[in-house]
């Protein structure tokens, strides 16, 4: 339908430019996902980056894997690209002289870790080395400029990739400020220019990953608190989001009176 988000129209409407693809640590062609749910692999524990753990593929969206560390609970799932250097075939750690570690928050007694690991891996399907794609090279420097558009993971809802803008650039410490179009600042964050969680305009379409359209902030006739917490149905049904008009741009911020109370609903 015509209400679906379209980058070309949006860039025109907002009179803005896409960040060039060479700004990003991403392959020009998104990698193929050959993983299947249930497959085991090794992953760096995101909460304890010095330890390598066994993880299971819980699901995937396009080239992004939803992973869970074996022996951990189901509330600390995390996402990695199939070309991430933080995942490897089972056996890699040991080949390099390391030892697989229990995850932070291991739900059993640490003394039975060896037994757990053995039982856990027996009969399991290991992801084949060919599933793991080569990590792209980092750009030589921070090439981002303020105002450039991109697609970025919402770290608070990490299954989502959303329409975003570079709001600020720090040349000195390699960081950019990612701001989500049409959302109040609550989701914004600083990240390094070579983050694997930011993508060039068009990456979602190419990779088959859904793209969250801009939020409702600054929409005509709704410049109040009601627009800040976007309802779940809007989030999940981009067809109901009006993507026309200039009001979605960050520039519209000043035209909209800030509400006295901002209520964020974590759905």
**Sites of contact with ligand MLY (CB under 6 A):** 154, 157, 160, 162, 180, 183, 187, 212, 229-230, 232, 235, 265-267
Smallest gap, in angstroms, from Cβ of residue 212 to ligand MLY? Answer: 5
* DSSP conformation letters of 14-60: TT--BPPGGGSSS-SSPPP----TT-EEEEEETTEEEEEEEEEEEEE
Of residues 16 and 48, the one with the C-beta less far from ligand MLY: 16
What Cα–Cα distance (Å) separates residue 7 from each residue in 212, 213, 239? 12, 9, 15
Smallest gap, in angstroms, from Cβ of residue 182 to ligand MLY? Answer: 8
Give dist(CA 207, CA 203) in Å, integer. 6
The helix (H) or strand (E) run that includes residue 191 is: strand 189-192
Of residues 71 and 214, the one with the C-beta less far from ligand MLY: 214
Q: For the chain, what's the residue count? A: 267
In the structure encoding, which two tokens stand for residue 126, read together? 């290991």
Give dist(CA 132, CA 140) in Å, integer. 24
Of residues 79 and 187, the one with the C-beta less far from ligand MLY: 187
Q: Which of 196, 81, 180 is nearest to 137 (CA)?
A: 196
Of residues 56 and 195, the one with the C-beta less far from ligand MLY: 195
CA 222, 228, 229, 232: dihedral to nearest 10 degrees?
Answer: 60
Smallest gap, in angstroms, from Cβ of residue 172 to ligand MLY? Answer: 27
Smallest gap, in angstroms, from Cβ of residue 154 to ligand MLY? Answer: 4
Tokens 């020009």 — which residue?
A: 28
Angle at 155 between CA 2 and CA 56, to 5 degrees: 100
Of residues 99 and 222, the one with the C-beta less far from ligand MLY: 222
Smallest gap, in angstroms, from Cβ of residue 181 to ligand MLY? Answer: 9
Smallest gap, in angstroms, from Cβ of residue 46 to ligand MLY? Answer: 20
Of residues 53 and 241, the one with the C-beta less far from ligand MLY: 241
């Amino acid at each position: 339908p015509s209400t679906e988000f379209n980058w070309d129209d949006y860039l025109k409407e907002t009179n803005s430019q896409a960040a060039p693809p060479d700004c990003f640590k991403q392959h020009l062609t998104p990698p193929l996902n050959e993983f299947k749910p249930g497959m085991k692999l090794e992953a760096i524990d995101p909460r304890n980056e010095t330890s390598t753990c066994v993880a299971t593929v819980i699901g995937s969206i396009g080239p992004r894997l939803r992973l869970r560390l074996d022996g951990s609970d189901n509330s600390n799932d995390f996402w990695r690209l199939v070309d991430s250097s933080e995942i490897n075939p089972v056996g890699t750690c040991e080949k390099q002289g390391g030892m697989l570690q229990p995850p932070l928050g291991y739900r059993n007694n640490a003394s039975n870790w060896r037994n757990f690991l053995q039982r856990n891996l027996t009969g399991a399907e290991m992801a084949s080395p060919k599933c793991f794609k080569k990590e792209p090279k980092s750009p030589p420097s921070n090439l981002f400029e303020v105002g450039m558009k991109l697609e970025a993971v919402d770290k608070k809802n990490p299954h989502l990739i959303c329409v975003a803008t570079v709001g600020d650039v720090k040349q000195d410490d390699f960081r950019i400020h990612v701001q989500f179009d049409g959302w109040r600042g609550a989701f914004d964050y600083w990240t390094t220019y070579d983050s694997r969680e930011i993508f060039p305009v068009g990456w979602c379409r190419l990779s088959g990953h859904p793209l969250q359209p801009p939020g409702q902030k600054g929409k005509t006739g709704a410049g109040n608190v009601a627009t800040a917490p976007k309802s779940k149905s809007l989030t999940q049904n981009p067809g109901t989001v009006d993507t026309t008009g200039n009001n979605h741009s960050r520039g519209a911020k000043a035209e909209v009176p800030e509400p006295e109370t901002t209520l964020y609903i974590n759905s």
